[in-house]
Amino acid sequence: MLFSRTYRYHSNVPMEDIKSRLLGKHVKVHNLDFEVLEKDRQLKIIPHAEQIDTLKTLPITHVSFNGKGARTQVVISSKMRKIDQGGPLLVVIFCSFMLIAGIVGFLSGHEDYALYTYTLFGIGALIFIIFWIRMESGYFDYVRKIRDYIKKESAH
């Protein structure tokens, strides 16, 4: 999916040691608390969104481990909460339709409608660029900081 991210790396720390370092801990990202829980032999990092009163798009992160002798492969996968998916998907679909309409108008070649074609394409691209910049500074920043926290805790 468009908003899912997966990150893999190897650590020299044993699998059980990494789990014990992370399990039950709380991660603070932008003054928002994320808790590390265990479910189905993998770790799940969920946000405590009860304390926020603004609309935020937050990730749920799963951390799974594959022990290979002295090395451990750590797989971190983040996805958007189901409750948060509607708004971003609507923006992406809206921008896609505007961009497609602009491209179709451009390819049809009617000079009379060139202003509308360029306007549709420009507005669709502008809205998508603003949306993506906000996602990079919000949702994807949460994902990056949680990933960095896990990587830092499993490194030493």
Q: Give the predicted TM-score (pTM) of the model.
A: 0.84
Q: What is the pLDDT of residues 4-60, one digit of tens each?
A: 999 999 888 888 888 888 898 888 888 888 999 998 888 999 988 776 667 678 899
Q: Delimit the domains of the chain by residue range.
A: 5-83+144-153, 86-132
User: What confidence tens digit (pLDDT) does each residue in 62-119 have?
Assistant: 999 988 777 889 999 999 998 888 999 999 999 999 999 988 888 887 788 888 888 9
Alpha carbon separation from 32 to 8, 53, 68, 85, 135 (Å, rounded): 25, 11, 34, 19, 17
Measured between alpha carbons, how far is 111 from 109 in angstroms, rounded to an integer? Answer: 6
